[in-house]
Amino acid sequence: MNATQNIINTPTNLVMGFLGVGKTTAILDLIKQKPKHENWAVLVNEFGKVGIDGAIYANAGVTVKEIAGGCLCCAVGVPFQISLNRLLKEVRPDRLLIEPTGLGHPQKVLNMLVSGSNQQVLDVRASICLLDPEKLKDSRYTTHENFIDQIALSDVLVANKTDLADKQAINLFHQYAENSNPQKALISETQQGQLDISWLDLQRNPERKAEFPNAHQQTKFSANTPNHSLSNKADGYHSSGHIFPKETVFDYGLLDKVFQQLNLERIKGVINTDQGWFIVNGSGSTIDYIAIQTSNKSRIEAISRENSFQAVSNALSQCKIEQT
């Protein structure tokens, strides 16, 4: 029997965007707006192997299924379908939000969602892409094939972090948005990932095409024994993951100082400090700390253009508090 046999037309949206643009924050904001009687679920994918987003969603009371260790576009097939079927069967959500990694290419994911048995169980609606307009000044982003196609395949294009963007960046955003073909269903600006829940029910345009449908390479992993650390690389980006026992304590003030100096594209984590447990979530010099209940271990995932494994490892070592 098909695991999703009795589940019909679950409204489904892809929420995408490049590294550090604020996808997780936006999804959490959308879930705060959901009707109280509805149960929403999130299928989240991370580039790194450690898996942080699941902990962030779980802390907020969100039903989540996590696929860590690569991109959904690489995992499309049996692993992705199994995770999707299990989530639909066990949770039976009133709406499903899918958050691919910022380094993922959405074309294969969209193709799978609207084909085969998924046609009977999913009602795929507008795909939303968040964009940091300041990135449009940097050719490293504007020439990146995944960056380009995340914009191309979106029905709703949103400039996030507009409070941190200047007039030139905002104008560049509108030039990109207005030159889209087909035209976007909606173009908007926001801050702190605040989206309008009504955008989720806009229709998906199946005529949208990727400019680089064969973009993206398979992710490659390497494991290192000390502290159960893991690193990987793909598309010119490196991820370094670090896991520590629950008993390891870090200096909160020093952590923030060294993280600011690392020049990372994105950093996320769940970490035990001398001021309690925190979720760490940010990019560049903007890093947020959210207090949480005790977790079973500390884990940090950093992504950068250069291999930052040793730099992050050294920074974390500096911040450890020796236990007596």
Peptide bond into 93 cis (omega under 30): no
Q: State the pLDDT at residue 288.
A: 86
Average pLDDT over residues 93-105: 90
The C-alpha atoms of residue 14 and residue 106 are separated, in whole angstroms, by: 8
Strand partners, 42: 64, 97
- The CA distance from 171 to 62, in Å, is 36
Would you say 295 and 270 are in contact if contact means Cβ atoms under 8 Å apart? Answer: yes
How sure is the predictor about 3, in pLDDT bands with cuts at 50, 70 and 90? very low
Q: pLDDT (tens digit, 9 = 90+) per residue, 128-147?
A: 999 999 999 999 999 999 99
Q: 149-176: per-residue pLDDT in tens?
A: 999 999 999 999 999 999 999 999 999 9
Look at residue 226 and tell me whether its pLDDT is greater than 70.
no
Q: Kindly report the length of the chain.
A: 324
Q: Which of 87, 38, 98, 94 minimizes the C-alpha distance to 65?
A: 87
SS3 (DSSP) at 202: coil
- Residues 151 and 106: beta-carbon distance below 8 Å: no
Q: What is the pLDDT of residues 290-301, one digit of tens each?
A: 898 888 889 898
307 versus 121: the higher-pLDDT residue is 121
Cα-only R_g, the chain: 19
pLDDT of 319 > 80? The answer is yes
Q: What is the rounded end-to-end Cα distance, in angstroms, of the chain?
A: 57
The pLDDT value recorded for residue 185 is: 98
Q: Which domains does the chain have, with CATH numbers?
A: 10-201 (3.40.50.300), 220-321 (3.30.1220.10)
How are beta strands 276-283 and 286-292 bridged, if at all? antiparallel
- Given pLDDT bands bounded at 50, 70 and 90, which one contains residue 308? confident
pLDDT tens for residues 229-240? 465 666 678 888
Which of the residue ranges 69-78, 176-185, 230-239, 302-311 has the most confident prediction, judged by mean pLDDT?
176-185
pLDDT grade, residue 228 (50/70/90)? very low
Highest average pLDDT, of 50-59, 66-75, 203-212, comes from 203-212
Looking at this protein, which amino acid is placed at residue 98?
I
> What pLDDT, on the 0 to 100 scale, is given for residue 256?
85
Using a cut of 0.95, tell me whether the model's pTM lies above it. no
Helix/strand/coil for 31: helix
Minimum mean pLDDT range among 13-27, 47-61, 68-82, 165-179: 68-82
d(CA 205, CA 212): 18
Helical spans, DSSP H, in the chain = 23-33, 53-59, 72-75, 78-91, 106-113, 118-121, 139-142, 145-152, 167-178, 252-261, 309-319
